[in-house]
């Protein structure tokens, strides 16, 4: 009889996850797993619906089961901080965490949203010295405004529907960064000042299924030398992006930010620099762009 050579098998993949509610329409798992396959990593990214009252237990479960990290999204980005061991510098400035990284036995909270946006912008223009007009003052806007400020933009206009949130963001920028910023109450169509270099929609206007909702701005002010960026990933070709492109602006869709924040998370968890083209292609497959 032939002797059987003992072999060592490892059936245990490394795990990362996404917590949110609702979360089923979030395409991050599809994007990250495409990169795991491309780079030959035996890792899994699992999307989990977690209610706010279960967040503490979910983070404890992550520790108990040895997860290497993950992402968190609405409504957990602020609340998750109290269950983590340490918060990174820009996440602490922004006041929200969207990326969790296990370092030895510690869970560290980072924010990659704003850095992801910045990377997309840098593909078109260096932000230092530029003037920015931003719609919104929620989580995405805070992350983007803080990173733009740290990257040396000269001035940021914050336009927001609710005054309290808008002023809170301007106060944060004044207290914690060197950027000049001012608040604009956003109750009607906003004029775009001729000195603005970059216009950013960081509100949820245009997100599926409200794809036809119009952003209140004066469309004829969209001019050729303006960069227009939208954070909305679904659909990527938003009404704003289509309008800006038809008027000759350079445009950045929300997939760029989503890919670049994913690249940063991937690198934090695995130590591998993923190929952003593979990740973008996975998203385009989903959204049919
Ligand atoms: N591409 C990416 O990688 C990426 C990453 C993160 C987030 N996002 C997207 O960013 C968007 C915002 O997320 P968030 O976390 O910042 O949400 P959030 O904290 O709930 O903030 C929403 C913002 O949108 C404003 N807003 C919503 N509906 C509006 C309307 N009809 N008119 C005027 N203002 C309106 C809100 O104004 P008020 O303060 O007046 O309510 C607030 O400033 C979401 O659509 C999300 O998908 C994309």
Q: Specify the pTM.
A: 0.94
Å from CA of 106 to ligand 1 middle: 31
Is 82 one of the catalytic residues? no
CA 166 to ligand 1: nearest atom: 39
Token output for 72: 């968190």
CB-count burial class (<10 Å; 0-12, 13-18, 19+) for 105: exposed
Å from CA of 63 to ligand 1 middle: 30
Q: What is the mean pLDDT of residues 46-66?
A: 98
Which pLDDT score, from 0 to 100, does residue 4 have?
66
Q: Model confidence over 22-53: pLDDT tens digits?
A: 999 899 999 999 999 999 999 999 999 999 99
Q: What is the mean pLDDT of residues 232-257?
A: 96
Residue 3, pLDDT above cutoff 80: no
C-alpha to C-alpha distances, 172 to 115, 168, 219, nearest whole angstrom: 18, 6, 30
Domain segments of the chain as ranges: 14-111+257-287, 114-252
77, 82, 115, 220: which one is catalytic? Answer: 77
Mutate to test the pocket of ligand 1, among 91, 140, 160 (most ligand atoms within 8 A of CB): 140
Confidence of residue 2 (pLDDT cuts 50, 70, 90): low
- Whether the CB of 162 sits within 6 Å of ligand 1: yes
- Whether the CB of 259 sits within 6 Å of ligand 1: no
- Residue of minimum CA distance from atom 19 in ligand 1: 138
- Whether the CB of 207 sits within 6 Å of ligand 1: yes
Alpha helices per DSSP H over 65-138? 89-94, 113-122
Which pLDDT score, from 0 to 100, does residue 289 have?
72
Q: What is the mean pLDDT of residues 166-182?
A: 97
User: What kind of architecture, by CATH, is found in domain 114-252?
Assistant: 3-Layer(aba) Sandwich (3.40)
Tell me the CATH number for domain 14-111+257-287.
3.40.50.10860
């Amino acid at each position: 009889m032939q002797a059987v050579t003992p072999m060592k098998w490892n059936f245990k993949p490394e795990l990362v996850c996404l917590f949110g509610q609702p979360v089923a329409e979030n395409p991050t798992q599809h994007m990250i797993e495409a990169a795991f396959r491309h780079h030959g990593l035996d890792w899994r990214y699992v999307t989990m619906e977690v209610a706010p009252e279960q967040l503490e237990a979910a983070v404890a479960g992550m520790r108990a089961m040895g997860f290497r990290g993950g992402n968190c999204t609405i409504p957990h980005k602020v609340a998750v901080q109290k269950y983590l061991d340490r918060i990174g510098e820009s996440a602490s400035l922004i006041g929200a965490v969207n990326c969790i990284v296990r370092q030895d036995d510690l869970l560290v909270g980072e924010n990659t949203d704003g850095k992801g946006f910045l990377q997309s912008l840098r593909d078109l223009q260096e932000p230092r010295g530029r003037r920015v007009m931003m719609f919104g003052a929620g989580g995405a806007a805070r992350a983007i405004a803080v990173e733009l400020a740290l990257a040396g933009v000269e001035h940021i206009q914050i336009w927001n529907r609710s005054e309290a949130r808008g002023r809170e963001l301007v106060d944060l920028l004044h207290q914690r960064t060197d950027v000049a910023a001012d608040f604009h109450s956003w109750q009607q169509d906003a004029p775009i000042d001729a000195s603005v270099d970059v216009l950013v929609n960081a509100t949820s206007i245009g997100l599926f299924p409200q794809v036809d909702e119009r952003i209140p701005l004066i469309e004829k002010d969209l001019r050729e030398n303006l960069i227009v960026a939208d954070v909305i990933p679904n659909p990527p070709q938003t009404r704003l992006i289509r309008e800006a492109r038809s008027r000759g602006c350079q445009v950045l869709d929300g997939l760029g930010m989503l890919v670049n924040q994913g690249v940063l998370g991937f690198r934090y968890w695995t130590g591998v620099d993923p190929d952003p083209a593979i990740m973008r292609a996975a998203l385009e497959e989903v959204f049919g762009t």
